[in-house]
Amino acid sequence: MQTFHEPSAAFPVTFRSGRSRPSSTGFTLVEVMVVLVILVLIAGLVAPRIMGQVDQANVRAAEVQVKSLRSGLQAFRLDVGRYPTTTEGLAALMSPPQEVADYWRGPYLDDELPAAPWRTPYRYESPVENLQGFVLYSLGADQAEGGEGDNADIGYVPEQGQPATS
């Protein structure tokens, strides 16, 4: 190593002779793969818990929406004297059917007509054979009748002979 001083320089300048190894920067392939494996393992542990929470939240949201729709249907019945027909559907809660427009005092919901958390419309039927009132439900996440957990049907079906006000 040689040190040279220039008369006007306040600091000495050092020159190195010979070849030196370039400094290595970045990550090796092994390091990147180890990090990826760790991230996949963490995601594998966390994702099922998060998905379980989402499923439970969807079921709870559907239950709350069914209660809200039931309240709207009850208010419709008090004003009009009957529940909306299957043909009129839940849309009758937001805009009056022509034949009952004089008695309709809605809208009977605060916001727009909700869809089930699975982005499907709620099913509504009225009148229903052997039942008083109406049937209101969502088929759940699997969109098939029956099921358990988030695949279970969520809604309101009055017991045979029971009024829909219970």
pLDDT tens string, the chain, 166 residues long: the values are 555 555 555 666 565 655 656 666 788 888 888 888 888 888 887 777 776 677 788 888 888 999 999 999 999 999 999 999 999 999 999 999 998 889 999 899 988 888 888 888 999 998 877 667 889 988 888 887 877 777 778 888 776 544 444 3
Instruction: Name the DSSP letter for residue 87.
Output: T
Domains, in order of start, for the chain: 52-156 (3.30.700.10)
pTM for the model stands at 0.64
Give the number of other Cβ atoms within 10 Å of residue 84's Cβ.
22
Residue with tokens 């809208």: 107
